[in-house]
Amino acid sequence: MSKPKFPRMLGDNEAQAILRNIRVSPRKLNLVAALIRNVDAAEAVARLRFSKRRIAVTVRKALESAIANAENNHQLDVDRLVVTRAEVGRSVVMRRLHARARGRAARIEKWFSHLRIVVSERPQEAEAEAGAGPKQEVA
């Protein structure tokens, strides 16, 4: 007899990708994650592709993985995907010593981070309203 299946924590219209132990500090990673929060998935990929930050390449790969999970595992429409959450968390901290003057030592901390990206499918009604825009009257 096997143990019971773990319940799915996401909704039926959501998919995610998780990266663990990324070699960048959480503060720097959060700056890149803020670029893509609450943005269409295609727009978020474009923003990351042209970002100058080194970690943007890794975040883009994670986002593309979340999009692929939505398409292949949950049969969601790729054109209607929105990045609903981009969560950054702390991981381990490697501590190293740096030799200083007079036999002293200084501590160097090398931070690691976790990243969780959740994409969800926008409902059809919201898409129709967003595409319509403000209506102008013709005189």
The CATH number given to whatever domain includes residue 106 is 3.90.470.10
Residue 71 lies in a domain: yes
59 is in which domain, residue-wise? 14-123
Sequence-ordered list of residues with C-beta below 8 angstroms from that of 81, at least 6 positions apart, any chain: 40, 41, 42, 67, 70, 119, 120, 121, 122
Lowest average pLDDT, out of 1-10, 43-52, 83-92, goes to 1-10
Give pLDDT, residue 139.
56
Give pLDDT, residue 8.
84
Residue 132 lies in a domain: no
Residue 129 lies in a domain: no
Tens digit of each residue's pLDDT (9 = 90 or more) over 27-84: 999 999 999 999 999 999 999 999 999 999 999 999 999 999 999 999 999 999 999 9
